[in-house]
Amino acid sequence: MIKYLFDRSMALIGLICLWPVLLVVAILIKVKMPGGPVLFTQHRIGKDGKLFTMYKFRSMTMSHSGSSISVAGESRITPLGAVLRKYKLDELPELWNVLIGDMSFVGPRPDVPGYADSLQGEDRLILKLRPGITGPASLKYANEEEILATVNDPIKYNDEIIFPDKVRINLNYYYHHTFLGDIKLIFQTIFRSYELAEIPQNNK
Q: Report pTM.
A: 0.86
Residues in the chain: 204
Long-range contacts (CB closer than 8 Å, 24 or more residues apart) made by 35-40: 35/62, 36/61, 36/62, 39/93, 40/90
pLDDT per residue over 106-153, tens digit each?
Answer: 999 999 888 888 899 999 999 999 999 999 999 999 888 888 988 889
| 13 pLDDT more than 90 | yes
| 6 pLDDT more than 90 | yes
Q: Is the distance from CB of 57 to CB of 92 less than 8 angstroms?
A: yes
- Whole-number pLDDT of residue 165: 96
Quote the CA–CA distance of 173 and 128 in Å, as a whole number. Answer: 12
Quote the CA–CA distance of 114 and 127 in Å, as a whole number. Answer: 14
pLDDT per residue over 43-102, tens digit each?
Answer: 999 999 999 999 999 998 876 555 667 776 677 889 999 999 988 899 999 999 999 999
Quote the CA–CA distance of 98 and 80 in Å, as a whole number. Answer: 25
Q: Is the distance from CB of 73 to CB of 150 less than 8 angstroms?
A: no
